[in-house]
Amino acid sequence: MSRLEDDLRTDFNAHSYFLEGGENGNELKLLKEYFYCFQIANSVNPDTIVFSDFLDVCNVSYPMRAMGYFPSDMEISNMIYEMHERDIVKIGHPTTLLTFEEFVILYLNYKPRLELKIGDIRKAYDRMVLYDHFVNPDGEKGVLTRETFVHIMKNMGEKMSFHELEIVVRTLLKTKDLSSAGSGENINLIHAALPPTLTFNYIITDLFGFLNPNKRK
């Protein structure tokens, strides 16, 4: 452990800025604890365990979840791919293993750094509704039409291509490929996959998969 900490003093400076409290903060302390606690939890005999300075990349999600970050299956696959693509000659150990520093770097690279509250999402939704100039077929007020939703995704902020938008909608709706042979970039396919109007609760519960904020105790 002491050797690991000595290595971190020289090699970790570039990354410590992104940790709460820096090199001496609580976040790094917890990462160290979980890095080794996972080895204890998976040991046949915890009383005689010999700690390793490495963690198998296939198990990297467990200490991350202990930190409150729950990587998706796709993110875990990407992490494993990144570790397998390293130069084994340069790192000096099998590509299935990662050091504590590599573990922390993965954690920092993948953990969302933007903390959003339900109120922040509500404000963003209300702003999109104000921008909505399309005809609402149901005559409802304070709801977003699918045409405006798609228009904003394609033309405002970090603009999405048709293919990127198709992937997002397909992922959120858990549907198959929206395109059909010879259809090209037909935006009507995106519209057809969405309901005519998107209420705030629909976006939160049906698209994002969160609990209905109006039903929370």
* Domain ranges (residues) in the chain: 3-110, 118-207
Is pLDDT larger for residue 18 or for residue 80? 80
Provide the 8-state DSSP code for 214. G
When the candidates are 1.10.3720.10, 3.90.950.10, 3.40.50.261, 1.10.238.10, the CATH number that belongs to 3-110 is 1.10.238.10
Q: Which residues have C-beta within 8 Å of that of residue 82, sequence separation ≥ 6?
A: 106
Give the model's confidence band at 158: pLDDT under 50 very low, under 70 low, under 90 confident, else very high: low
Long-range pairs of 162-168 with CB within 8 A, sequence gap ≥ 24? 162/187, 162/190, 165/190, 166/190
The pLDDT value given to residue 7: 42
Task: Say if residue 64's pLDDT is above 60.
Answer: yes
Quote the mean pLDDT of the chain: 77
Dihedral over alpha carbons 89, 28, 66, 35 (to 10 degrees): 40
Give the angle 123-126-132 at the CA atoms, nearest 5°. Answer: 145
- How do the residues of the chain divide into helix, strand and coil, expressed in percent and rounded to 5? 60, 5, 35
The pLDDT value given to residue 84: 80
Task: Say if residue 2's pLDDT is above 70.
Answer: no
Is pLDDT larger for residue 85 or for residue 197? 197
Is pLDDT larger for residue 44 or for residue 138? 44
34-39: average pLDDT? 86
16-35: average pLDDT? 83
41-58: average pLDDT? 80
